[in-house]
């Protein structure tokens, strides 16, 4: 087995059933993704539109592509034909554009709403009020080509595990608070939280999807 294959195999042994592993492959060469593919792994996360489009064209068609980076509205059309799940919907405007491009491709695109949970200015996402307000609007309810499947959050970059836990907990609370809302385009099942450094903690706090990059592919490109 290669190092990547070993890392994935070991991680999978540690992750509880019901938690999905997304391998974050930004900046990593296609060869490394193929190593993961060879042992049956299919879910990859990318942060940049052009890199994702290039990899999608070059790699096997049964890969599930997750978009996890900041997405500009003018770039949605490039990934709309094939993207499996967009984790990083950080504005209502972006969600409306995804709906429009999904309609053009005659499909429904599954999305997670990225919520701002960190105590840092650099992180993106909707704040709770913005999210709640969006859910109540008629315009949201009219979107037919997106489906909101859950929430995503990124914790503060810190060694303070108590702070990280508190941030994950706040995302889980918002998830529970809005979970029972009924709409055709809304069905909260997923919480995408946890990366290489904090996924164990995220799982303890209710994560259903972890996004792991450097623990699989190493930290250098
Ligand atoms: C890069 C990235 C990850 C993976 O981070 P690692 O610490 O390398 O596991 C997860 N989520 C997002 C949004 C990222 O940009």
Residue in the block written with tokens 């914790």: 155
Mean pLDDT, to the nearest integer, of 41-52?
Answer: 98
Mean pLDDT, to the nearest integer, of 100-118?
Answer: 97
Residue 159: predicted pLDDT: 93
Mean pLDDT, to the nearest integer, of 53-79?
Answer: 98
Could you tell me the two tokens for 131? 């999210």
How far apart, in whole angstroms, are the C-alpha atoms of residue 35 and residue 48? 21
Cα 128 → chain centroid:
18
In percent, the amount of the chain with pLDDT more than 70 equals: 99
How far apart, in whole angstroms, are the C-alpha atoms of residue 79 and residue 13? 32
Ligand 1 centroid – CA 174 distance (Å): 22
Contact 194, 165 (CB under 8 A): no
Mean pLDDT, to the nearest integer, of 70-92?
Answer: 98
pLDDT bin (cut points 50, 70, 90) of residue 83 is: very high
How far apart, in whole angstroms, are the C-alpha atoms of residue 49 and residue 177? 32
Residue with CA nearest ligand 1 atom 11: 211
Report the chain's mean pLDDT, rounded to a whole number.
96
Is residue 68 scored above 60 in pLDDT? yes
* Class of the domain covering 3-217: alpha beta
- The size of the chain, in residues, is 221
Top mutation candidate among 159, 195, 197 for ligand 1, by most atoms within 8 Å of CB:
195
Ligand 1 centroid – CA 24 distance (Å): 6
Query: Domain boundaries in the chain?
Result: 3-217
- With 0-12 / 13-18 / 19 or more C-beta atoms within 10 angstroms meaning exposed / middle / buried, residue 169 is middle
pLDDT bin (cut points 50, 70, 90) of residue 121 is: confident
Residue 220: predicted pLDDT: 62
Residue with CA nearest ligand 1 atom 13: 68
Mean pLDDT, to the nearest integer, of 168-188?
Answer: 96
Handedness of CA 146, 18, 200, 217 (dihedral sign): negative
Ligand 1 centroid – CA 108 distance (Å): 26
Mean pLDDT, to the nearest integer, of 151-163?
Answer: 95
Q: Which residues of 5-37 are buried (b: 16+ CB within 10 A; e: fewer)?
A: bebbeebeeebeeebbbbbbbbebeeebbebbb
pLDDT bin (cut points 50, 70, 90) of residue 109 is: very high
Q: pTM for the whole thing?
A: 0.97
Top mutation candidate among 20, 44, 45, 151 for ligand 1, by most atoms within 8 Å of CB:
45
Residue in the block written with tokens 């995408």: 192
Helix runs in 15-109, H state only: 30-38, 49-58, 76-79, 92-104
In percent, the amount of the chain with pLDDT more than 90 equals: 95
Residue 186: predicted pLDDT: 98
Ligand 1 centroid – CA 195 distance (Å): 6
Query: Considering only CA atoms, which of 27, 52, 67 is closest in space to residue 216?
Result: 27
Is residue 219 scored above 80 in pLDDT? yes
Residue 33: predicted pLDDT: 98
Phi and psi (nearest 5°) for 22? -110, 120
């Amino acid at each position: 087995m290669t190092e990547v294959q070993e890392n994935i195999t070991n991680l999978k042994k540690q992750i509880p059933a019901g938690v999905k592993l997304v391998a974050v492959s930004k900046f990593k060469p296609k060869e490394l993704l193929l190593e993961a593919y060879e042992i049956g792994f299919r879910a990859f996360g990318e942060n940049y539109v052009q890199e994702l489009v290039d990899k999608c064209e070059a790699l096997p068609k049964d890969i599930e592509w997750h978009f996890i980076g900041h997405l500009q509205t003018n770039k949605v059309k490039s990934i709309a034909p094939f993207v499996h799940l967009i984790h990083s919907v950080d504005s209502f405007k972006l969600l409306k554009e995804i709906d429009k491009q999904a309609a053009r491709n005659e499909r429904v695109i599954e999305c997670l709403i990225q919520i701002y949970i960190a105590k840092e200015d650099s992180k993106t996402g909707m704040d709770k009020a913005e999210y709640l307000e969006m859910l109540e609007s008629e315009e949201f309810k009219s979107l037919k080509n997106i489906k909101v499947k859950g929430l995503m959050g990124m914790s503060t970059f810190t060694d303070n595990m108590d702070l990280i836990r508190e941030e994950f907990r706040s995302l889980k609370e918002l998830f529970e608070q809005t979970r029972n809302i009924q709409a055709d385009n809304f069905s909260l099942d997923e919480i995408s939280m946890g990366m290489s450094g904090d996924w164990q903690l995220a799982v303890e706090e209710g994560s259903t999807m972890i996004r792991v990059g450097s623990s699989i592919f190493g930290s250098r490109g």
